[in-house]
Amino acid sequence: MTNAIVTGASRGIGREIARQLAARGVRLALHYQKNRTAAESLLAELPGEGHALFAADLGDSDAPETLIHAVLAQLGQIDILVNNAGIYHHHPPQTTSYADWRKAWTETLAVNLFAPAHLSFLAAAAMPRGGRIVNISSRGAFRGEPEAPAYGASKAGLNALSQSLARAFAAQGICCYCLAPGWVETEMAASHLAGPRGAEIIAQHPLGRVTQPEEIARAAVFCALDAPAAMTGSIIDLNGASYLRT
């Protein structure tokens, strides 16, 4: 049985990744922060047996170790880690107080960068040869996030982390991949897409729409199960050509 941890699995991209992995016969450790109702509804709809829920606040520096130990105690082995959980704080430098600025940076880096780093370190130690780490980054790592600099910086750090771990873990047969979505039609994005900037956001996308969670999940599942080892260290853009880098 292949076991996978998906962080931030109760909604959005993480929820769809969990669904698609379960459909491929993977047993899931479903991490959520506090929305147990949403996590339980996901658990109830997944095919297969042995899936389990794990609550953790990844902003807590002790949470990654506690989470990994709990998963290993219940499932016995970790084959795949999907670092999907993330937060976004609006903190434009021109209008944010210094206290709120520091808070945004501390909280964002803790969840978006430090937690994936620590989870990857701990999970890799328990992975067999052929293990996979899939990190969910953002196009904001490349184009900048002027209204949320900590978010852009955290995702740029996650890209660099992914490539560093790909090199570090290659000798152990563990591959590390990174996906960089743009706007995705999730609960988190709903207010923006329906708000005053909605038309402007859509206009950025040559496809005439933002990306769907199912599309990100398909790429994540490919990396987790099917991608060749030679792709390790890759950062894969999934933004509908809304931002093209060279």
Q: Which residues are catalytic?
A: 151
- CB neighbours of 52 closer than 8 A, spacing ≥ 6? 28, 29, 30, 43, 71, 74, 75
Longest C-alpha distance within the chain, in Å?
A: 52
Measured CA to CA, the distance from residue 153 to residue 155 in angstroms comes to: 5
Q: How many helices (H) and strands (E) does the chain have?
A: 10, 7
Q: Which two tokens stand for residue 76?
A: 């016995």
b/e per residue 206-240 (b: at least 16 CB within 10 A): eeeebbebebbbebbbbbbbebeeeebbbbbbbbb
Q: Output the CA–CA distances (angstroms, integers) from residue 107 to 1, 90, 221, in the order listed.
A: 35, 12, 28
Could you give the CA distance from residue 159 to residue 137 in angstroms, rounded to a whole number? 7
Strands (E), the chain: 3-6, 27-32, 52-55, 80-83, 132-136, 175-181, 235-238
